[in-house]
Amino acid sequence: MSTEATTPDTPSFSDLGLPGPLLQALSAVGYETPSPIQAATIPPLLAGRDVLGQAQTGTGKTAAFALPALARIDPAQRKPQVLVLAPTRELAIQVAEAFQKYAAHMPGFQVLPIYGGQGYAPQLSALKRGVQVIVGTPGRVIDHLNRGSLDLSELRCLVLDEADEMLRMGFIDDVEAVLKKTPETRQVALFSATMPQQIRRIAQTYLKDPVEIAIKATTTTAANIRQRYWMVSGTNKLDALTRILEAEPFDGMLVFARTKLGTQELAEKLAARGLSAAAIHGDVEQKQREKMVQSLKDGRIDILVATDVAARGLDVDRISHVLNYDIPYDTESYVHRIGRTGRAGRSGEAILFVAPRERGMLGAIERATRQKIEPMQLPSVDAVNDQRVARFLGRIGEALESDSDLAMYRSLVERYESEHNVPLVEIAAALAKMVQGDTPLLLVAPPERAQYERPQHERAQGPRPPRDDGYAPRGREQAPRHERAPHSAVAGEPGAASFDRAPRPPRDAPDVGMETFRIEVGHSHGVQPGNIVGAIANEADLESRYIGRIDIRDNYSLVDLPEGMPHELMEHLKKVYVGGQPLKIRRAEPADSAGGSAGRPGKRPFSPRPPGDRPRPAGARGPRPPFPPRTPHRKGPPRGEG
């Protein structure tokens, strides 16, 4: 049976027959409607059919196979029921994270990524404890099958993700070997961007009457739309957006956030900063939506924050800019988003915020649209201040030129001048301060390199250590470079260091105050110091030299970090996963340090430098304060992107 799918009228996720816990998780992460590959693939997979899918990266195919697979597993059974084969460690980790995210409301669910370059011990330990989903590279899966450590007797579903890439990398024999060791009753889903003859042969041999699905994603973008991206960390997104809104000339702007809550919170924070913004999402009544769209057309508001669904059909010539505050989940959504500008023959601007771990989607968008997205330089503090001063002076000019009667105010000023013998210019300055209120008129440049901008060349130099499990991909399943040997947390002190003493920064770090934090991952989760360093450095946009001693216990770890961590960053790090567990970071209490480094006999706390992080030559770059400073104009509640 063959089904050709392009871009039909898309049903909702609930229409596809997914169970409640999965719908709840999808709503929480901002998935509102299925992408074409999801709408076409989920129903046959739920029905138990084999599927042969042809779709590019960035079309949403991970959810297309993960959601129906989760719907059919038994969380009470602690044996592998789903096996996903992926060509690279990076993809295996990403897919495993997606499963974990979608299964947020499935108690007892466990997923394990297995790949070369990671020690066998944590993988064997996790397999022994029991998992329902395995996501692995072919070579390491074969190793576990040969060892007898991976039992596929209860396997219900096998997914081959990016099969053509596995063929290109020489893994196709391993893939067939795995297929031969799976039960005859298992369901198979094969996804590939292209369908070379060898992939077709595998499909004909191992898939039973598959549903064939081919998705041709929308890839055309208007030539009159200039596309730019800015590499941004989550902590700085609101400040970066504020700078752009203040310094970038625009008429009307459409800002995209993933979730309903995210749109509402972002609009409120922009309004708190004196910007005319409103939010539209699925919960906004049609009458209110029409009113806000009309306000955008009339110029009563300048910024509309929207979800993908709420922005459908939006046609406002005044929209000169589309800003992707949250990167879309698939390339087609990106094309639809930026299509809201550059209409009626006008030029348009599209800006994309890309977090370090979202570089892959940036590349997928460039490949799908066949257009290079250029890096943008964030407006400088001076540029923002120039705009603020110009607007302030403009308000004075407008007041002087208005028809309103200034005679009464002039007489009050003259009276104050005569009674207090104060120069008119001083009185004018005081009145200006009264108008401005408590919000400073000018931004203050952060010290040294604590800027919002990241170097333009950063992307070419390669990504920072990934947060996933601390292992950066290095092509095929090569082993990573040998980590530096662990050393005592206190130089020259024998034995295990204790966290009872005051926290200290690493030896090569600038002089900053440190405090100890507790994170809920430990030896039982298979974590290593490099995993923790990679996660915190990447997600907090923190240089690894600011990460101090790490003491890994059985079920938790203690880590020294610079004091003064912003509240919103703490909330963000709580949700970061390492070793399949959320960090749930908090400030350590005295009881947490009891027993010193007793997590493993003979183990010492670490102050590691992640692989590849070499000492920088003196004078190569000035020190950067650990956490980006809170700018004076920050207003409103703590950050919540939704």
- 252-292 pLDDT, tens digit per residue, is 999 999 888 889 999 999 998 888 999 998 888 878 888 89
Residues whose CB falls within 8 Å of the CB of residue 306, separated by 6 or more in sequence, listed in order = 254, 255, 256, 257, 263, 279, 280, 281, 314
Say how far apart CA 610 and CA 531 lie, in whole Å: 9
Say how far apart CA 572 and CA 367 lie, in whole Å: 30
Residue-wise burial string across 418-432, b where 16 or more C-beta atoms lie within 10 A, e elsewhere: eeeeeeeeebeeeee
Position with higher pLDDT, 468 vs 157: 157
The arithmetic mean of pLDDT across residues 329-335, rounded, is 84
Upper half-sphere CA count for residue 145 (Cβ side, 13 Å): 20
| Most confident of the following: 113-127, 176-190, 411-425 | 176-190
Give the lowest-confidence range in 208-222, 269-283, 511-525, 552-566.
Answer: 208-222
623 part of a folded domain? no
Task: State pLDDT tens for residues 212-233.
Answer: 999 875 556 667 899 999 988 5
User: What's the count of helices (H) and strands (E) in the chain, helices before strands?
Assistant: 19, 21
> For the CA atoms of the chain, what is the radius of gyration?
28
**Does residue 267 share a domain with residue 193?**
no
* Domain assignment of residue 182, given as a range: 2-215
Q: What is the pLDDT of residue 547?
A: 87
The arithmetic mean of pLDDT across residues 183-211, rounded, is 93
| Most confident of the following: 196-210, 536-550, 616-630 | 196-210
The arithmetic mean of pLDDT across residues 87-106, rounded, is 89
24 part of a folded domain? yes
Say how far apart CA 581 and CA 112 lie, in whole Å: 11
Position with higher pLDDT, 252 vs 59: 252
Q: What is the pLDDT of residue 2?
A: 41
Tell me which amino acid residue 229 is: Y
Position with higher pLDDT, 105 vs 233: 105
**Does residue 155 share a domain with residue 260?**
no
CA distance readout (Å), 157 to 40, 80, 192, 240? 18, 10, 17, 44
The arithmetic mean of pLDDT across residues 49-78, rounded, is 90
* Residue with token string 């509402």: 264
Count of Cβ atoms closer than 10 Å to residue 547 Cβ = 29
Kindly list the strands in the beta sheet with 133-136, ordered across the sheet, starting from the edge strand earlier in the chain. 2-5, 211-215, 51-54, 187-192, 157-160, 82-85, 133-136, 111-114
Residue 335: pLDDT band with limits 50, 70, 90: confident
Tokens for 266? 């972002």
519 part of a folded domain? yes
Residue 64 sits in a domain whose CATH number is 3.40.50.300
Say how far apart CA 266 and CA 253 lie, in whole Å: 14
Is residue 230 a contact partner of residue 375, using CB atoms and an 8 Å limit? yes
Tokens for 1? 């049976």
Say how far apart CA 303 and CA 342 lie, in whole Å: 16
Position with higher pLDDT, 419 vs 538: 419
Residue-wise burial string across 265-304, b where 16 or more C-beta atoms lie within 10 A, e elsewhere: bbbbbbbebebebbbbbeebeeeebeebbeebeeeebbbb
Q: What is the pLDDT of residue 606?
A: 36
DSSP string, 447-500: STT--S---TTTGGG-PPPPSSSS----SSSPPPPPPPPP--SSTT--S---TT
632 part of a folded domain? no
Q: What is the pLDDT of residue 161?
A: 93
Among 101, 78, 95, CA closest to 21: 101
**Does residue 470 share a domain with residue 389?**
no
18 part of a folded domain? yes
Q: Mean pLDDT in the chain?
A: 78
The distance between the two most distant Cα atoms of the chain, rounded to a whole number of Å, is 99
Count of Cβ atoms closer than 10 Å to residue 139 Cβ = 16
Q: What is the pLDDT of residue 217?
A: 58
Position with higher pLDDT, 78 vs 639: 78
Give the lowest-confidence range in 103-112, 407-416, 499-508.
Answer: 499-508
Residue 422: pLDDT band with limits 50, 70, 90: confident
603 part of a folded domain? no
Q: What is the pLDDT of residue 359?
A: 85
Give the lowest-confidence range in 155-164, 230-239, 415-424, 563-572.
Answer: 230-239
**Does residue 245 share a domain with residue 193?**
no
* Residue with token string 């880590």: 559
Residue 491: pLDDT band with limits 50, 70, 90: very low
pLDDT at 540 over 90: no
**Does residue 254 share a domain with residue 131?**
no
pLDDT at 90 over 50: yes
101 part of a folded domain? yes
**Does residue 474 share a domain with residue 431?**
no
The arithmetic mean of pLDDT across residues 200-207, rounded, is 94
**Does residue 138 share a domain with residue 14?**
yes
Q: What is the pLDDT of residue 464?
A: 38
pLDDT at 586 over 80: yes
Indicate the pairing of strand 586-587 with strand 514-519: antiparallel
Q: What is the pLDDT of residue 190?
A: 96
pTM score above 0.75:
no
Residue 557: pLDDT band with limits 50, 70, 90: very high
Q: What is the pLDDT of residue 219?
A: 58
**Does residue 409 share a domain with residue 343?**
no
Is residue 302 a contact partner of residue 252, using CB atoms and an 8 Å limit? yes
Helix (H, G, I), strand (E, B) or coil at 145: helix
**Does residue 415 share a domain with residue 478?**
no
**Does residue 63 share a domain with residue 143?**
yes
The arithmetic mean of pLDDT across residues 309-322, rounded, is 84
Is residue 101 a contact partner of residue 75, using CB atoms and an 8 Å limit? no
- Could you tell me which residues are beta bridge partners of residue 348? 225
* Residue with token string 């170097």: 455
Domain tally for the chain? Answer: 4
Task: State pLDDT tens for residues 591-608.
Answer: 887 755 444 433 333 333
**Does residue 374 share a domain with residue 386?**
no
Instruction: Report the interhelical angle of 120-129 vs 138-147 (nearest 10°).
Output: 70
Alpha helices in 156-283, H assignment, sequence order: 163-168, 172-180, 197-206, 237-247, 260-272
Q: Residue 197 burial (CB < 10 Å; 0-12/13-18/19+)?
A: exposed
Upper half-sphere CA count for residue 448 (Cβ side, 13 Å): 9
629 part of a folded domain? no
Task: State pLDDT tens for residues 299-308.
Answer: 999 999 999 8
Q: What is the pLDDT of residue 367?
A: 85
Q: What is the pLDDT of residue 352?
A: 96
Say how far apart CA 398 and CA 67 lie, in whole Å: 58
Q: What is the pLDDT of residue 597?
A: 44
Q: What is the pLDDT of residue 496?
A: 37
3-state helix/strand/coil string of 360-404:
HHHHHHHHHHCCCCEECCCCCHHHHHHHHHHHHHHHHHHHHHCCC
Tell me which amino acid residue 342 is: G
DSSP 595: T
Percent over 70 (pLDDT), the chain: 77
DSSP 26: H
Q: What is the pLDDT of residue 503?
A: 55
Count of Cβ atoms closer than 10 Å to residue 17 Cβ = 13
The arithmetic mean of pLDDT across residues 192-221, rounded, is 86
Q: Which of 195, 215, 235 is the last residue of a domain?
A: 215
pLDDT at 614 over 60: no
Q: What is the pLDDT of residue 642?
A: 35
Residue 578 sits in a domain whose CATH number is 3.30.70.330
Q: What is the pLDDT of residue 451?
A: 34
Q: Is 579 left (phi over 0), alpha (psi -120 to 50) or beta?
A: left
Q: Which of 593, 613, 630 is the last residue of a domain?
A: 593
DSSP 357: G
Helix (H, G, I), strand (E, B) or coil at 470: coil
Is residue 496 a contact partner of residue 605, using CB atoms and an 8 Å limit? yes
DSSP 593: G
Say how far apart CA 146 and CA 436 lie, in whole Å: 72
Q: Which of 184, 215, 246 is the last residue of a domain?
A: 215
**Does residue 412 share a domain with residue 357?**
no
Say how far apart CA 340 and CA 355 lie, in whole Å: 23
Is residue 62 a contact partner of residue 98, using CB atoms and an 8 Å limit? yes
Say how far apart CA 93 and CA 538 lie, in whole Å: 15
